[in-house]
Structure 1
């Protein structure tokens, strides 16, 4: 559902918001081979969502990502998925909630064991979208994040969109941070155009840069039908595995810097 903002939120976006997070999904190695130019992406983002074995990534890629994040001052987030590397985590998976919770717990633990100071958790792919509507899967993910929070001794926020996962997080006191996408098309109701449909994935760096500045100053994106969607987002994503990812991220960062908008992690 589109965001209905409070008077306070409207005031924040009425040209006064001077900082926003820029995140990318990284560490997504498949068979030991990277799917993105991670080094280039780490140079311009403020938060990195690191694959932790569910859809991609392994012990080596996790350690490498943690080291890159430490060297560049980038916050590390965990990017757990359905345990489905064959489909890169982008297919719906009929899995029992208890099994999903165990898998997500194991993925989060693997990233911590790789040396990460995990500042947030962002589900990946099909799981990201499933937890918006599937109450059982949302509760499973939130339960895993609550276990991680207990392990590290502080609440670990979840990054995502409005839906069941946001409500489940609120019930157990897990912070929730809203996200918007710079390289995905939006429907009028605030959902993303499904991958595979024409125009779902955007690849124009200039358009992404314009969207980023608009999101940071107004909190809105323009949907495919021309309507304006209010996002309430405090973090913006550029997917690291798209062909234009590096050019897009650099264009976005340059536009934000030029507009006097600080790029920083909110964690």
Structure 2
């Protein structure tokens, strides 16, 4: 199970995250493409950092919403969704080529990711767009009880999926993330997070808030590195993943 992290989200004089500290501990770098965060200089710096540490490079496109950090849903037409995806993926792919790297997957950011998981039509359109872009790009989606449905849908467009889970979030009985507005939605205890990872590694499942064991069969685990405490946790998670794998 590979660790992925959203990176390259600074722009101009505004700084976000601790990219240099977290990059050595992850397998996959989801690099912002300029619409919800990042700028050309940050994109190139982040690409070079990923190359230095051997991290797989992924495009992290979002809605054109710098002021809202891409966390607000936008009513975009099919043509607009296609355009903002192709524009951002092309930008990162072109810069990666210059740096000597390749973009191998796409992970939509924030509200675009959440909207994709709620709307099968939007999911289909994103798959079509990535297929048209070519280069064998994979798509990161949230692992849920609908994995087989999404896998079959993606196969119709020749796209391979990477199913993602979250170590620090509670799940409901349908295998969906418990809304942040509900108590206990986010884990803050390190031992609880590491216990979740051990369970995921052993049988690909999580335990819901009601105690139900749910099979998710993940390919990748999302981690966050925006402060010193989270970077240390990412380091501990990587050690735990490596120890269980070995």
Task: Judge same fold: TM > 0.5, yes or no.
Answer: yes
Matching of residue 220 in structure 1 with residue 201 in structure 2: no
Mapping of residues 1-267 of structure 1, within 5 Å: 20-115=1-96, 116-149=101-134, 152=135, 155-161=136-142, 162=144, 166-241=151-226, 244-259=229-244, 261=245
Change beyond 3 A, Cα 1:131–1:65 = same
The count of aligned residue pairs is 238
Q: Could you tell me how far 1:177 is from its partner in structure 2?
A: 1.5
Q: Could you tell me how far 1:71 is from its partner in structure 2?
A: 0.4
Which deviates the most, 132-141 or 20-29? 132-141
Unaligned 5+ runs, structure 2? none
Contact 2:18–2:227 (Cα < 8 Å) also in 1: no
In structure 2, C-alpha distance between the alignment counterparts of 1:228 and 1:109, rounded to whole Å: 40
Q: Could you tell me how far 1:243 is from its partner in structure 2?
A: 6.8
Contact 1:104–1:144 (Cα < 8 Å) also in 2: yes
In structure 2, C-alpha distance between the alignment counterparts of 1:225 and 1:78, rounded to whole Å: 35
Q: Could you tell me how far 1:26 is from its partner in structure 2?
A: 1.0
Unaligned 5+ runs, structure 1? 1-19, 263-267
Change beyond 3 A, Cα 1:67–1:22 = same
TM-score normalized with structure 2 length? 0.88
Change beyond 3 A, Cα 1:136–1:257 = closer
Q: Could you tell me how far 1:242 is from its partner in structure 2?
A: 6.3
In structure 1, C-alpha distance between the alignment counterparts of 2:166 and 2:48, rounded to whole Å: 26
In structure 2, C-alpha distance between the alignment counterparts of 1:61 and 1:231, rounded to whole Å: 34
* Greater relative CO, 1 or 2 (CA 8 Å, sep 6+): 1
